[in-house]
Amino acid sequence: MSLPAAAESAVATAAAVRAGATTALAETRAALARIAALDPQLGAFQLVRAERALAEAAEVDARLAAGEDLPLAGVPIAIKDNIPVAGEPMLEGSAATSAAPSLADHEVVARLRAAGAVVVGLTRVPELCVFGTTDSVHGTTRNPWNPTRTAGGSSGGSASAVASGMVAVAHAADGMGSIRIPAANCALVGLKPGAGLVPAEMGADSWFGMSENGPLATTVADAALLLAVMAGRPALADVAPPDRRLRIGLAPGIPTPLARLDPRWEAAARRTAATLAAAGHEVVELALPYPADPLPVLARWFAGAAADAAHLGLDDRLLEPRVRAHVRAGRVLERLGALRPGPVDRLRARVTAATADVDVVLTPALAQPGPDAEGWHRRGWIANLRSSIGYAPYAALWNLLGWPAAVVPAGWHPEAAVPLAVQLVARPAADGAGEALLLAVAAELELLAPWERTASPAASTVV
């Protein structure tokens, strides 16, 4: 069988549609053909909106003909199944959620559609977006680079859809690393914005403010364009390498004794630091004051899931055993006062002091390759906690503090046959300056150490 070519970049697609070289309708048909060919092996999509997407693409073409200026003109996009898309159910990877259609779009979806994007489908998540692998009663999502391994979680469906070239860009959301962990697994550019830049408004209270909506893409320019639309800040799309010498803090230290750093992941961080140093930036070693007591972040992780379950009116008996235990732990911790702001405020002060002399923090993106794809929703709560914390411990601190953080590809792990990646972190700023700085550094790395945009379609079909 002849497999379809991967999607062109979102920037290129939108420019071609605006110029009349192609149409939104043609691009949507091509995306649906790619999904039909590749998704049966990868399980990225929970729902494909074929007829509705084609109708919406025709509307985009009509808007262009009427003279509208659309930055995402005709770009097929996937939406993570944890925010409302009008007319479609929001299942959140659960058998306990309602199949009734959402009545209105989430603000992020509305902004994407207003910019000319066409929503071709909703992508899979683990139940209530809790864990770092993406499988549930609805199916398993696989890594296009190595389908025996997970695409990560909880935005694993979005990452698999983009890394396989089914779509060029996808919406994702990040409460404990759920944009950056799949990006690292699947060789993508993923960015978690700082608090307040992009509308969050997920579940009960966005996991007590830890969760943010953001982009997954194969190029920095695509990630910047998608973030600019999500944030309503067009200037963020104008991305270029830094125009000044930066001070980069290399921080390879392990955040928790529950994790062990694979030498390949540490080497990727050090190699990336050396690339930036060769480009003229100053690199210094940095020891981050990771909290000795993990309770502030764990309590919000557990209690955030509990709050979402209550917000959705879910019957605990219908939840997976691992998620049921997670929810119950969250309720207990909240009653015991584990969500007090004091420890977080003190941690923020320590991290701010430790990073005061650097512009960007550089860490490994993961500690270990992502685990096997199958069966995590049938395993116990402790096994899932150990897996998620053990292989992906670098992300959660920045959710707790509300700092922007991004992941970019950084090589290949030959033993595990999966990509490597690094994480970049900047201090938050209300005007998006931190996100702009991360995109600039990512753009420089893309020029100096380019990566392959998508996995081979042949690799995606090997299971």
Identity at 340, one-letter amino acid code = R
Residues forming beta bridges with residue 409, ordered by sequence position? 421
Record the tokens describing residue 36, joined without a space. Answer: 């039909």
Active site residue 102: no
Q: Which distant-in-sequence residues (6+ apart) come within 8 Å of 409 by Cβ?
A: 187, 188, 189, 419, 420, 421, 451
Q: Which of 150, 134, 178 is nearest to 304 (CA)?
A: 178
Rounded to whole angstroms, the Cα distance separating 363 from 393 reads: 11
Q: Which of 94, 136, 154, 388 is catalytic?
A: 154
* ∠ CA 262-170-45, rounded to 5°: 90
Active site residue 178: yes
Record the tokens describing residue 229, joined without a space. Answer: 């639309």
Q: Which of 9, 80, 158, 388 is catalytic?
A: 80
Record the tokens describing residue 206, joined without a space. Answer: 């966005």
Element (H, E) at 318: none
Q: Give the largest Cα separation in the chain, rounded.
A: 61
Pairing label, strands 247-250, 282-285: parallel
Q: Which of 155, 178, 387, 388 is catalytic?
A: 178
Output the CA torsion sign for 310, 182, 439, 11.
Answer: negative
Active site residue 192: no
* Three-class DSSP category at 174: strand
DSSP 203: T
Q: Which of 183, 144, 148 is nearest to 166 (CA)?
A: 144
As to burial, measured by CB atoms within 10 angstroms (0-12 exposed, 13-18 middle, 19+ buried), residue 19 is exposed
> Which residues does the annotation mark as catalytic?
80, 154, 178
